[in-house]
């Protein structure tokens, strides 16, 4: 697999250089055009859960990947979620919006987002293990003080999944993010905000591991 080349500079402008993260159910590989065929199949399995999420149709996967690569310059570090059982890419996720301490190069916070999974991969522990891998890397390798997650406030399925991962609800920010709902192009959505902080991480990690 030829990965996307990340520049490695942080501070919210360039994606991080993160290696493949390995779990027993899912492997998070740096996103590549080589994942396109698998993802084109994955997006059409069952689109019932994609109403609030950026998920292309099969014929738009390459354009979606190109857009994700362009967002690297804005701080995105995208991954393909590869199911270990069959080696197929069954979704995407990402680190996003890395922030440094004032006057320092060290990261203080990062967001986990841009997440979706094929219908066959939902409810199989892949999302939970993916969060475990990303949170572990963020807290134990990047050394952040905080991991953010956000979703459309109306997306109760996503909110339940975030809460099951151990993140704390912080409130709803009104008209905070662009809406991805069809027919709402150019409008803003209310975003439900969640986080895990470093002091909570050991407890959250135990909960994620136990859930697997």
pLDDT tens digits, one per residue of 165-198: 899 999 999 999 999 998 999 999 999 999 999 9
Cα 95 versus chain centre, distance: 6
pLDDT score recorded for residue 211: 87
What are 90-111's pLDDT values in tens digits?
A: 999 999 999 999 999 899 999 9
Read off the tokens for 70. Answer: 């362009």
C-alpha 86: how far from chain center: 21
Mean pLDDT over 137-142 rounds to: 98
Q: What is the mean pLDDT of residues 133-158?
A: 97
Could you tell me which residue, 211 or 193, shows the higher pLDDT? 193
Mean pLDDT across 134-162:
96
Query: What pLDDT was estimated at residue 212?
Result: 86
Distance CA 148, CA 196 (A): 7
pLDDT at residue 10, rounded to an integer: 43
Cα–Cα distance for residue pair 197/92, rounded to 1 Å:
24
Q: Above 80 in pLDDT, residue 4?
A: no
Mean pLDDT value across the chain: 92
Give me the pLDDT at residue 168, please: 97
Q: Are strands 26-30 and 107-117 parallel, antiparallel or unpaired?
A: unpaired
Nearest alpha-carbon partner for 27 in 123, 118, 97, 132: 132
Distance, C-alpha 171 to centroid of its chain: 20
Of residues 142, 155, 161, 164, the one with CA closest to residue 190 = 155
pLDDT greater than 70 at residue 1: no
Whether the predicted pLDDT of 13 surpasses 80 = no
User: What number of CA atoms fall less than 13 Å from residue 122's CA on the CB side?
Assistant: 16
Report helix angle 126-136 to 201-211, nearest 10: 150
Q: How far apart are CA 103 and CA 106, in angstroms?
A: 9
The residue-averaged pLDDT of 17-39 equals 97
β-partners of residue 92 are 80, 116
Instruction: Look at residue 125 in the predicted model and tell me its pLDDT.
Output: 94
Count of C-beta atoms within a 10 Å radius of residue 72: 20
The answer to whether residue 3 scores a pLDDT higher than 50 is no
What is the percent of the chain where pLDDT is above 90? 84
Q: Could you tell me the pLDDT band of residue 9, with boundaries at 50, 70 and 90? A: very low
**pLDDT the model gives residue 130:** 97
Q: Is the pTM of this model over 0.85?
A: yes
Write down the pLDDT at residue 187.
Answer: 96
pLDDT at res. 11 = 42
């Amino acid at each position: 697999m030829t990965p996307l080349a990340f520049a490695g500079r942080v501070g919210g402008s360039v994606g991080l250089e993160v290696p493949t993260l390995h779990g027993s159910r899912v492997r998070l590989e740096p996103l590549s055009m080589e994942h396109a065929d698998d993802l084109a199949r994955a997006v059409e399995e069952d689109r019932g859960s994609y109403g609030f999420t950026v998920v292309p149709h099969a014929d738009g996967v390459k354009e979606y990947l190109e857009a994700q690569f362009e967002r690297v310059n804005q701080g995105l570090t995208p991954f393909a979620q590869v199911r270990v059982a069959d080696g197929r890419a069954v979704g995407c996720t990402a680190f996003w919006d890395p922030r440094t301490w004032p006057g320092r190069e060290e990261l203080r916070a990062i967001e986990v987002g841009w997440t979706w999974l094929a219908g066959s991969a939902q409810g199989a522990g892949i999302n939970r293990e993916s969060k475990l891998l990303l949170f572990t890397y963020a807290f134990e390798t990047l050394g952040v003080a905080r991991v953010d997650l956000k979703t459309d406030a109306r997306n109760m399925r996503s909110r339940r999944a975030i809460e099951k991962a151990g993140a704390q609800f912080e409130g709803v920010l009104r008209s905070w993010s662009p809406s991805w709902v069809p027919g709402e192009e150019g409008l803003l959505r209310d975003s439900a905000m969640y986080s895990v902080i470093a002091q909570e991480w050991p407890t959250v990690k135990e909960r994620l591991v136990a859930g697997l």
